Structure 1
Amino acid sequence: MIDGIRKVLDEKDSLREEALKITREIVRLSGDSIKALHRGEKELAQWRIKEVRKRVEELNEKLQLHPDLYFTGYVQNAHQEFVEAVLFYSYITGSEFPSPEELGVPEANYLLGIGDFIGELRRHFLLLLMDGRIEDARRVYETMSEVYEELMSLEYPKGLVNIRQKQDQARYIIERTLEDLTRAKLTKSLEEKLNNALKK
């Protein structure tokens, strides 16, 4: 009996190590694709996401018969990073947002990725503000608000999906973003008034 248990657990431990390696690659490639998008390198980002998709499919295949390994924190985190990268790529390129089924991830992990997506939109928003593109930044804020409202409409227990944490983070991000946008608009208005006064 012990020998049989040892054999099963040895195989599972080996599979777990393989899964950990794949999830690390998913996280790294997802992060690389997001960085590429912020630099305006859409083709590179697209290639990275294709590579991530392959890793996600490989992970799903390896853990298909092992739900005890599939529904773990490290797999969930990898899925979140993947969803965040794909949603951000879709937003930047004006593509339709893919569904959880199309990405091959559980619905709960997809929702958590949406929460991270809001944070990435804020970074994009700040980069636009730094470039003086206030109107473009405003449109990003509007998208953030729409996603936030949808996210806030979900009420589930933590045991099913820990969405409350993402909602709290999103609320804080939205509030800060609105403050930044308001401040930028006021500053621009004052600059315009000052310039007009100097011209006169």
Structure 2
Amino acid sequence: MENKSLTSIKKVTTLSNSMFKDIHKSREIGLKISREIIGISSRSIRAAHRGEFKESQKLIDEGIRKLKSVKPKVIKYSSDINSTFMLDGEKELCEAIFFICFTSNKVVPSKYFNIFSPSSLLKGMAEAASELRRSALDKIRDNEVIESEKYLEIMNGVVDVLESVDFPEGVTAGLRRTTDQLRSVVERTRGDITIALERKELEISINSLKEELKKN
């Protein structure tokens, strides 16, 4: 007599293997595109550092197209796979978006708000603010200390708004830790700018004294 239980478990296993094949395929596609998005975001930020904002925006648009193409495929199996790798790509893309807005003094377009998860948006904002430290230091090296203070003002503003987010880490995906890291970067940047301003004032005083001595 045929064992019906064995027959049924074979069918379940065959079906599960078929589903695993689809899940694995979607996961591999998601991982590949996520890595590509991270690379695109990094190039976008470097372009913005160079002041090449059109190129930076072009790369952001490319990253968003890739994200939109793959996200539905991964979300379909989100209950079966750990899809947090997609959040890494999202966060890096958000960082690029915020960074170009910070450095070009533009408003963050609202069209982006519904594309990303809230944690990706806010963590990307925090990391973009951290990236402004490099911009501030570049201004100090170029002897444009006053300009560097504008970046510090943005960094302070980002810390202030992030500290107003009061939800558990399990909801915000580690936002508090990211905010703490940003706060440390802000304090180091403030110290660098303070030293640069004091040095500039000292140079002015020395030059003024030299002029007085020449008159005498």
Q: Same fold (TM over 0.5)?
A: yes
C-alpha distance in 2, partners of 1:80/1:177? 23
State which of 111, 128, 149 in structure 1 corresponds to 2:122: 111
**Match for 2:19: what amino acid?**
V
Report 1:10-25 matches (<5 A): 10-25=21-36
Q: 1:65: Cα distance to partner?
A: 2.0
**Match for 1:175: what amino acid?**
E
Q: Percent of counterpart pairs with the same letter? A: 28
TM-score (norm 2): 0.87
State which of 173, 184, 187 in structure 2 corresponds to 1:172: 184
C-alpha distance in 2, partners of 1:175/1:130? 18
C-alpha distance in 1, partners of 2:80/2:191? 43
Q: Does 1:74 align with 2:73?
A: no
**Match for 2:101: what amino acid?**
S
Report 1:51-200 matches (<5 A): 51-68=62-79, 72-99=83-110, 102=113, 104-161=115-172, 162-200=174-212
After TM superposition, which residue ranges in structure 1, 4 or more long, deviate above 6 angstroms? none
Contact 1:144 1:174 in 2 (8 A): yes
TM-score (norm 1): 0.93
Contact 2:31 2:85 in 1 (8 A): yes
Contact 1:90 1:97 in 2 (8 A): yes
Equivalent position SS for 2:168: coil
Contact 1:53 1:103 in 2 (8 A): no
Q: 1:91: Cα distance to partner?
A: 1.9
Unaligned runs of 5+ in 1: none
Q: 1:71: Cα distance to partner?
A: 6.5
Contact 2:126 2:182 in 1 (8 A): yes
Q: 1:103: Cα distance to partner?
A: 5.5
C-alpha distance in 2, partners of 1:157/1:79? 21
Contact 2:30 2:71 in 1 (8 A): no
- CA radius of gyration, larger in: 2
